[in-house]
Amino acid sequence: IEGPWQASERVLACIDPTPGALTVIRRAKRLADRLRAPWEAVSVVTADSERASRESRDALLEAFRVAEELGASTRSLTGDDPAEEILAYARDQNVTHIVVGAASRPLWVELFRGSIIRRLVRGAEDIAIEISPHQARKSLAMLGDVLRPPPIGEIGGYVGATVLVALATALAVGLDQLSDVPNISLVFVLPVIAAAVRYGMAVSIYTAIISALAYNYFLIPPLYTFTIADPSNIYANVFFVAVAMLVSGVAARSRAQTLIARRQARRAADLESFARSLVGAESESDIAAITAETASKLLFARVVVLAPTAGALDPIAEAPGPEMLGVDDLAAAQWAFVHRRPAGRGSDTLHGARWLFMPVPGERGFVGVLGVRPLDEAARLDPEQGRVLDLIAAQAGIALDRARFAHDAADARVEAESERLKGTLLSSVSHDLRTPLATVRTAIESLQQFAHKHDAETRKELLDVAVAEVRRLQRFIENLLDMGRLDAGVVRAKRELIEAADLVEQAVERTKVSLAGKIVSRDVSSALPRILADSALAESALANVLENAGKYSPEGSKVVIRAFRKDRRVVIEVLDEGEGFPPAALPRLFDKFERGVEGDGRPAGTGLGLAIARGFLEAQGALIEAANRADQHGASVSMSFPIEEG
């Protein structure tokens, strides 16, 4: 079904680069409020837009910003016929009301190019056209826009056009001398078209004029004078200039449209790449850096991204390099962030600043400020660049908001995990402190109250029990302190060259109580190269592993400690003959408070041993792995250390 569909009202404001654009915006807003309808503002970028004055471009950019502040969505269309582009877009968006400004162009332009409003009315069909009158631009100003030379390389364009006319003159004179060629003046159309395509409208008009003069001087009798003897040649010359200017206008507009389309395609590709880069960025600093680099590339400007920190705005990314912001710049940035409006250079507020600052909107509020300062100090952003800046700020705001949300969610998960670990720790402490303390208290009270009834052997057994439980408490407290050091990040490894055999003997001696009743077997060659490790941390890690092996192995079983070389590392492996690890627990073995065995019959402990071992080993560049034995029941825990180079 061809639109518009009359299911609901929709208002479209059509603006051009004139001060009256604000009147159109406000009229469209009032109409949308009265109809309770959504509305948007559009502008059509044509070849004439490229020649618009700085004041005209600023007026259009300001109109777009006002429209966005009033709740409209904005869009720039591209085409050679504004009326056709507006109607096509209106039908595509099911627009029911179009608001357009009247008399924005002088009469001579309307006569030459036709009236946009008349074409809108004729093609509107079911779309209502609201005409908002505003002051026309002066004819001389419009003529200045049309004839304004290109901003870069205009002198080279005029020189090149002069050379083309000289070549065309030489060709025409040569052809005229060789034979009587009719319509020799058509030769001069070639440089006019070439100048229009290569250099634009102003240079092509200059080319048409000097071509007519050259044609008159070298080819129309009397030769070598600007006097024209035959009146018919006067008409021919006039028509030649008219045709040449008409052709040059068409060619120049075609060139301008091509350049606009190419530039917009490049910017669209760059913005698409920018959006893809933001998807892959996770941290605020990465997002800010990508934003600054993209904005600097697309806007040919210095760019700084500022974010609120402790009540002030601080730079978090700059491109193409570090920038120093003055007091006026920082004041403009703060004003833009607080009032949620552009401030600084080229704006209505604090325009003495060297930078233009745009607030960066997020989904949960404004998240920062984007500062722009053109590399050309005399330049200012045109409407198209302003739209690009708005798009970059909007996408960056969403990405920054997402990163902060992810950071907040991660903090919430960490806090929840901390609460869970705190509960686990309190439960473990209450159990693992109460049990040995009760045992020690019972033993001591028995010795205190019934010492005269106990023989020497009984007293020794009670003291041994008390000492064993005290050692257990000491080991428990040491584990808690070690885990606290690891969590605080204060563990610092001092690597040195040590013998693997010495490390094994020290760890076995340290855990002889835990290994009592087990058969400890060592298979450590003295020919192994020395390992790079922190002797104290490595011993504590191996002791934790041996203590676990002794705790979870039955009486009389064998605990094997073997060391061997594997590539550029030495592996120390501990094998026991217990029940091994539950398969479901394998992925979590090195987590804090993880117990390999569940139930009432499990040995006492905190579940910190393997977590501490991993922390100590990773701090010194070593690795730890755990698995069930493949040859029989039991667990296997292996630690690998880097070896001495050489």
Range(s) of the chain covered by CATH 3.40.50.620 = 11-146
Task: Read off the DSSP letter of residue 136.
Answer: P
What is this structure's pTM?
Answer: 0.47
Tell me, what's the pLDDT at 136?
46
CATH 3.40.30.10 fits 11-146, yes or no: no
Tell me, what's the pLDDT at 513?
80
Tell me, what's the pLDDT at 570?
94
**Of the CATH numbers 3.30.9.90, 3.40.50.80, 3.30.565.10, 2.30.40.10, which one belongs to the domain with range 492-642?**
3.30.565.10
Integer Cα distance of 549 and 335 in angstroms: 65
Tell me, what's the pLDDT at 99?
92
> What spatial distance separates the first Cα and last Cα of the chain, rounded to whole Å?
81
Sheet holding 73-78, edge to edge: 73-78, 39-45, 11-14, 97-102, 128-133
Query: Which CATH number is 412-486 given?
Result: 1.10.287.130
Element housing 292 (H / E): helix 284-299
Tell me, what's the pLDDT at 98?
92
Instruction: Classify the C-alpha dihedral 428-433-439-442 as positive or negative.
Output: negative
Tell me, what's the pLDDT at 428?
55
Whether residue 307 contacts residue 279, with contact meaning beta carbons closer than 8 Å, is answered with no
Q: What angle do CA 284, 407, 425 make, to 5 degrees?
A: 145
Query: Which CATH number is 281-404 given?
Result: 3.30.450.40
Tell me, what's the pLDDT at 323?
79
Whether residue 366 contacts residue 360, with contact meaning beta carbons closer than 8 Å, is answered with yes
Give pLDDT < 50 ranges for the chain.
Answer: 1, 108, 111-112, 135-153, 599-601
Summarised one tens digit per residue, pLDDT across range 395-416 is 888 888 888 888 778 778 877 7
Q: 59 pairs with which residues across the strands?
A: none
3-state secondary structure string across 597-620: CCCCCCCCCCCCHHHHHHHHHHHC
Task: Read off the DSSP letter of residue 341.
Answer: S
Tell me, what's the pLDDT at 636?
93
SS3 126: coil
Tell me, what's the pLDDT at 105?
54
Whether residue 579 contacts residue 636, with contact meaning beta carbons closer than 8 Å, is answered with no
Range(s) of the chain covered by CATH 3.30.450.40 = 281-404
Range(s) of the chain covered by CATH 1.10.287.130 = 412-486
Element housing 155 (H / E): helix 154-178
Range(s) of the chain covered by CATH 3.30.565.10 = 492-642
Integer Cα distance of 480 and 52 in angstroms: 74
